Amino acid sequence: MSCTGCCADNKLKELEKIIEKYKDIRGALIPVLHEAQELYGYLPLSVQKKIAEGLNIPLSEVYGVVTFYTQFSLNPKGKYKISVCLGTACYVKGAGEIYDKISEILNIKSGECTPDGLFSLDACRCIGACGLAPVITINEDVHGRLTVDDVPGIIQKYIDKEKEAKDQEKLVEA
């Protein structure tokens, strides 16, 4: 049976504990945001409001920080987080077309997540692997020197990986 209300309550209690832990410390906002994002996977407005109230600072300040730093996200992320580097070296080697192909296959844009929660897509700045341009990362995996034709196979690899994991789970349950 899926759990909705009680999980939300547990998370809220957890968030309150995080706020309490940092409340009286200077510069509390960034660590609170980090831990809250670990807890929720992203930072929806409701969570930002709770943090603003708990730390007694304006919501606009919280929102300003969340939108300034790229490590914070306003949207849910997929199990596989795809980042396409659009830095100069990657861009001149066709990162734009790679991004478009991923977007076309998954039918999502930057900052969005597929409805099954499997993939999310983001554009990012140089990740320091310009020698491998154009580069994308999927979670911790780095895929470099890509062509548009490589993209479907790479995405399929993660879909297959997911399917294998599910099949494995079924075997264990059986």
Establish if 78 lies at the interface with ligand FES (CB under 6 A): no
> Helices 45-55 and 29-40: crossing angle, nearest 10°?
150
Establish if 142 lies at the interface with ligand FES (CB under 6 A): no
* Least separation in angstroms between CB 172 and ligand FES: 39
Q: Looking at 36, 77, 78, 87, which residue binds ligand FES (CB under 6 A)?
A: 87
Collect all residues with Cβ–Cβ distance below 8 Å to 108 and sequence separation of at least 6.
114, 119, 120, 121
**141: phi then psi, degrees, rounded to nearest 5:** -85, 135
Spatial CA neighbour of 48 closest among 39, 57, 59: 59
Q: Looking at 12, 57, 65, 89, which residue binds ligand FES (CB under 6 A)?
A: 89
For ligand FES, which is the closer residue by CB, 118 or 126? Answer: 126
Question: CB–CB of 160/153 below 8 Å?
Answer: no
**Contact range with ligand FES by CB under 6 A, out of 37-45, 49-57, 128-136, 147-155:** 128-136
Establish if 133 lies at the interface with ligand FES (CB under 6 A): yes
Report which secondary-structure segment, H or E, holds 44: none
Mode of pairing for the β-strands spanning 136-138 and 119-124: unpaired
Q: Looking at 90, 106, 121, 123, which residue binds ligand FES (CB under 6 A)?
A: 90
Name the residues that contact ligand FES, by CB under 6 A.
85, 87-90, 126-130, 133, 135
